[in-house]
A and B are shown apart, each in its own frame.
Chain A
Amino acid sequence: MTVELNFLAVFQDWPMLVTGVIWTLGLTAIAIVVGLTVAVACAWVRTEGPKWLAIPVAAYVELMRNTPFIVQLFFIFFGLPALGVRFSPPVASGIALVLNLGAYGTEIIRAGLLATPKGQIEAALSLALSKFQIFTRVVLPPALKKVWPALVSQIVIVMLGSAVCGQIATEELSYAANVISANTFRTFEAYIIATAIYLVLALMVRSLLNWAGPRFIFGR
């Protein structure tokens, strides 16, 4: 049998693809900014925070790391309304992605924090810096620098995982592919193109973060 592929039909719906890319990147950006903040806070709690907080944080981290993202997403989007907490699809997606990256990021950053030499902290203490200053200025930057490659990998994983958000009708890239395939009946082509775009996005986001990390996140 012969297989006819028609990629052009898919590209006629290019505005949908653009919207999809924007949503995918937007959700990823939110996950990076908020998720990494959550991760830093939780990593701090787990390394030097109060005990009563460390236990719930550990539970959160383990819960997220040992359940599938799609179940987390469904729980937030379909499950929480039963308690009267109702989110729109993009908001539910954003929350799920933030919580997910937050949990994985916590473990990664914690490993970096544990590797910080004690001498540096003592030196900083002798300079009369406050505890908060010591953490943000002395301990955190080298820890982030050390684990940045692992964080970048995790961010890419989270971005690729966001494809699942299309399942609750968030208009990200995989959702665009879904709609285009319904419009054109070019299902395979639509998914091939979307997949190729994901690949490009993954490579771009990775090199962008590798470039940005030393410049904006942890200095030099």
Chain B
Amino acid sequence: MPLAAESHAVPTIVDIAGLRKSYGSTEVLKGIDLRVARGEVISIIGRSGSGKSTLLRCINGLEMFQEGGLSVDGKSLLYDNATAMRELRQSVGMIFQSFNLFPHLTVGRNIMLAPTLVKKRDKAAAEEIATKLLERVGLEDKFDAMPDQLSGGQQQRVAIARALAMEPKVLLCDEVTSALDPELVGEVLRVVEGLANEGMTLLMVTHEMNFARKVSDRVVFMHQGLVHETGHPSELFENPKTTELQQFLSSLKD
């Protein structure tokens, strides 16, 4: 399975080429090349400020980039084309560090909202989807709860269900456990792992190195706005080639 990602039989789903992005005069991404195969699980690691979040946010159009190309499922990203953006965002789901559930809607309605509005599902169908997804993340009894009645781990699982309700082809996860109390991390990681095993294409920024090693097909180490080193987790963690990665990994140990 891990090797499948590198074989050319599996089609590319996300294709990033020479992507550059600046905030004002500071360049944050300095020419990123990355191809993600369908079903591949990629962990992005790197120091704070290396541009990991920015890269993820470029992929679903939350940030605009200035140079280079980005395409998802063969369609390139066009900022000024509302229909194209809407299509892109339907195929790319995102989970945020701070959950970002809609506080004024019940858990069920959080999940049902986008399918009814964007995918034009009728209420009954959307409800069925929501119920199924809540079951899948282990929260079947929380359909009518309000977000602020849930723990952080539960909120994040709802956020995952909400993203899945759009049946995305790619799921972006930006440090999805960083805002959680340590005892709640496990329940969220188990859900993510389940997705990985079911063949979902995942791009996740994470500081959980053990988790990255366990579930990833490939690990990408970002440094100063570039993909600095990339490879299979066993090889990358055991045999880091560049000194920057060696330093980064050893800085995590103490």
A and B touch in the complex (CB under 8 A): no
| A interface, CB within 8 angstroms of B | none
